[in-house]
Structure 1
Amino acid sequence: MYKLMIAEDEVLERKAINIIIKKYFDNIDIIEEAQNGIEAVEIARRIKPDIIIMDIRMPEKNGIEAQKTILKFNHNVKTIILTAYDEFQFAQAAIKLNVIDFLLKPAKPSEIVEAINKAITSIQFNENISSLEINAMNKSLIQEAIDYIHKNYSKNINLESVASFVHLNPQYFSRYFKANVGMTFIEYLSKLRIKKAKELLELTDKSISEISFEVGYIDPGYFSKVFSKFEGVTPNKFKIDHRKSILKA
């Protein structure tokens, strides 16, 4: 639901706008009505409307002044200005104040509906842009985490240390990593370490213990257990089988 505030000092105008909105929109909640500019600011500060229908000529504070004040604490509000014919040029000067449309009083129902639809479209567009920016940020954070893992897999890193590096709560990072990478942090780190271990087993004459330390496992016995889980054979058997395949070739 989109929150809408009507700021209009004429009772009949407010009632007419209410009737039109309730007839044509089921996704708008008219949160409150303001009878003057000061009330409009107070209500907007308290309830943070998504859309405002604002008359220019109001007591206490006119619509343009009220809009300027509201924008200081509610930057994204979409405002539809109601203006009399002789105020129209003055109203156009407010185009930089997040005013989405100007309606000449008395506004037709079709004009009000069109203006509100325009405001909703603008809100949805901004929401989509924000969503794309969040997704981009998420991908950037994941890439940072993966780069960090690849640079430090041989050290004693864990979920907490990587989460700290990307400034995320460990529990959130754990869920976030799995959702974006498709496997848990431990699975990813283990697969990377085993991949590096296989390269060392194939290309060097280093002992199992040496390789275990080089890929981040302090306990060679635990390294062998993890290796066997992923490869189906022990590191030593993998090394022997690899040498046999070379000799046969």
Structure 2
Amino acid sequence: MGLKLLIADDEDTIRKGVAKYIRLHSDRFAQIYEAENGEQALEFLLQYQPEVVLLDVQMPLRNGIEVMKAARKAELNPVTVILSGYDEFAYAQQAIRFGAREYLLKPVRAADILACLNKLADEEFGSEERGEASGENEQANHFVLEAKEYIAEHYAEDIALSQVAEKLGISGGYLSTLFSQTLDCKFVDYLNLVRIDRACTYLKQNYLKTYEIAYKVGFRDEKYFSKVFKKIKGVSPKEYRSA
């Protein structure tokens, strides 16, 4: 069974961006929780007890140090990585004293964050999460990886859950369950994440019209594309392009 990860950062773009990147590029973390302030971070720590935490230093309601102190008081000691700006170095030093394993300086790429989290997870938990998994779990993870690869290649086409499941030789219901358990999202939600991620690339290039981009990444209706885009990114395609 995969690890649980808590990402706590009051900046939506950072928190959501890192969470999305990890879901797209790693199967190490079975559950990813997102907290937008220190109080919520502590609630998630107490309720879900994630093994790994990515914690911003400066957050509303409670800062990262206060969250770490409260977690320690509750006898929780997750593998913690601190995110900090230049002017918060003193806080970062405190965090290290309270048990933080790594200190990452903003701005930092999502790829570097994932590499750091994976390294610490390997050091702390070894290969148990993957190496000692049953044959059934290994096969389930294999099916999800195969599905993700298929989506990456065919996202622009009119693909459906049943079609991908047929390619893998399993039922649509089983594949749907695997997505929910492994990625904490539905098949269509993951497909839309991939499509919107590709759409962002086209929008930044600024030479295709919105309806052209919608069709290019697999949507057959511009209005629906805009609705899904805003749900995932928080802004309309037009606003994203001009940002």
How high is the TM-score relative to the length of structure 1?
0.48
Which protein shows a greater Rg?
Answer: 1
